[in-house]
Structure 1
Amino acid sequence: MSFVQDMVAQYGYIALYVLLALGIVGIPIPDELLLTFVGYLTSLDLLDYPAALAVSFLGAMTGMVCSYWAGRAFGKPLLWKYGKWVKLTPSRLGKAERWFNRYGLWTVSFGYFIPGIRHLTCYLSGVSGMDHRKYLWYAGFGALLWCLFFITLGYFVGTRIDFSG
């Protein structure tokens, strides 16, 4: 986490955007802690709250869109070819795809709040062939709620902490 904090402290909004985009794609970055830290920085007026929210949203959406298109382009062939190594038979893949087609849009929106799930929903949306316009709406809704919640949490925690002793 100290690397992430140092990057945001040194490079500001650019680091925030890149780190969130990479974190959503699947690079192990503590996204919730990053957003809470950003909220804390806004409480100190080191970052602007609306700008931090906008940049966070754009970074999250960039990661979501990249993951969606990667799943769309490469997902099914990879699952068909290598799924057997992790017990993903064609029958299980079919069941998973039917479930995702039924509940996937809401999973995309609220999966942000569950680490690991938010990464998979992006790829699975592409793999399942979900309509990209619908995907963008539901992913955008979830990204906005997620960024808003954790940045606001960090902001309010930061205003309550007294470091003066």
Structure 2
Amino acid sequence: MENFVLDMFNQYGYVALFFLLALGIIGLPVPDEFLLTFSGYVVYTGEISFTLTFCTAFLGTATGSTINYWLGRRYGLPLLLKFGPKIHISAKKIELTQRYFQRFGKPLIAFGYFIPGVRHLTAYFAGMSGISYRTFAMYAYGGAVFWAMLFISLGRMVGANWYLVTSIVHKVSLWAIPVLVVIAIGVIIYYIKVKNKKSYNMIKN
């Protein structure tokens, strides 16, 4: 699949990048980070524009996420259980994402891009849960910006060693990203409590 992705990108450039990322987010077995990092390497060689590459990657990712959101909102879990295995989304991945979403909810829409096997499902679960499109867009598109920018920039920075990035990231992301999500939620809760406490003290005084 990786060779196919490279051939498509080398032949069709930005068009291939857009559609491959959109289809990858929907659930087809596209090596997303591999593709983003390689595109960053091609930016490093000077063959393509960083700005156009980033914009194309963001639009492809956002398109895939948006399609998943509306599919989840319209059809829900039965469709995913029926057709998920046909696009390599196993029942185990569905159950894992469901547990994550029940615990972390909205932040997972943004951070889910960094978790292998989960990023294909977070937008779908957001739609299923009834989260408004506006709220979904804020988290999903913000996460897409950071995800695309990070891997394109890494490919651009490491140059000819771009192929080493994804293997390292996959090993780290299996445990590091969930931990970061928990920390981020903890920080948000802490600041909300501090703010509420200050407001209460002001009212009391």
TM-score, structure 2 normalization: 0.67
State the Cα distance separating 1:75 from its structure 2 match: 1.1
Alignment match, 2:48: 47
Distance change >3 Å, CA 47–CA 104, structure 1 → 2: same
What is the CA–CA distance in structure 2 between the aligned matches of 1:14 and 1:149, rounded to whole Å?
A: 20
Length, aligned pairs only: 150
SS of 1:28's equivalent in the other structure is coil
SS of 1:16's equivalent in the other structure is helix
Long gaps (5+) in structure 1: none
Q: 1:13-162 to 2 correspondence within 5 Å?
A: 13-78=14-79, 100=101, 103-158=104-159
CA contact (8 A) 1:13 1:52 kept: yes
What is the CA–CA distance in structure 2 between the aligned matches of 1:131 and 1:102, rounded to whole Å?
A: 18
CA contact (8 A) 1:100 1:128 kept: no
Deviations 1:49-97 (A, max 9, x none): 011000000000000000001111111454799xxxx69xxxx9xxx58
Amino acid in structure 1 at the alignment position of 2:33: E
What is the CA–CA distance in structure 1 between the aligned matches of 2:135 and 2:43, rounded to whole Å?
A: 32
Q: 151-160 or 17-26, which moves further after superposition? A: 151-160
Runs of 4+ residues over 6 Å off in structure 1 = none
Amino acid in structure 2 at the alignment position of 1:113: F
CA RMSD of aligned residues (A): 2.6
What is the CA–CA distance in structure 2 between the aligned matches of 1:80 and 1:155, rounded to whole Å?
A: 38
Alignment match, 2:200: none
Larger RCO: 1 or 2 (CA < 8 Å, sep 6+): 1
State the Cα distance separating 1:46 from its structure 2 match: 1.2
What is the CA–CA distance in structure 1 between the aligned matches of 2:137 and 2:45, rounded to whole Å?
A: 33
Select the structure of larger CA radius of gyration: 2
